[in-house]
Structure 1
């Protein structure tokens, strides 16, 4: 599960997914691929926003790559909300810990 901030839009996930799969990308390539179904100018605007939030890296000449933070967002490991800490606490309950089992015995 991904934890997207209020500043994010659906296009952001598509952009990040595309760039992760291709290793890098330009807004025109993303638009032409059909996977990111927005205008080139809108994709470019969103890429800049993703750079501002540390999810993409701008290599210049309109080329973007995904950062480790961007990878971790796609993997559901961080929360991109502006007021939330990056790390996402595990939502899975693995039962009582070894210490709890020992205390019950």
Structure 2
């Protein structure tokens, strides 16, 4: 799906999946210990994924967890139109 949605990257599914498997709040540094991407990359992608509703950012720290929308993304219950920006 990342080829049909401009902002979506191949690493995003891996990041969202790892957060779903964990089931709670996690920081990008912890994610970087478990998946093959740098902390910097994960941090940037988590911010973008949160802006698009797939993740939720903790209000006190830069930790993230999956949203119901993110779970729908992992379950392939969304199509590209659900993830596109209004101006795409």
Greater gyration radius: 1
Match of 1:93 in 2: none
Conserved in 2, the CA contact under 8 Å of 1:31 and 1:37?
yes
Conserved in 1, the CA contact under 8 Å of 2:52 and 2:83?
no
TM-score normalised by structure 1 residue count:
0.69
Q: Name stretches of at least 5 consecutive residues in structure 1 with no aligned partner.
A: 85-105
Q: Deviation at 1:66?
A: 0.4
Distance 2:63 2:41 in 1: 15
Deviation digits for residues 15-68 of structure 1, max 9, x if unmatched? 0000000013211111112xx211101100000000010000001312101000
Q: Deviation at 1:81?
A: 3.5
Distance 1:83 1:58 in 2: 20
RMSD: 1.7
Q: Name stretches of at least 5 consecutive residues in structure 2 with no aligned partner.
A: none
Deviation digits for residues 56-87 of structure 1, max 9, x if unmatched? 00013121010000000100111244169xxx
2:84 is aligned, of 61, 75, 82, to 82
Within 5 Å, give how 1:4-43 maps onto structure 2: 4=2, 5-23=5-23, 24-33=25-34, 36-43=35-42
* Alignment: residue pair count: 80
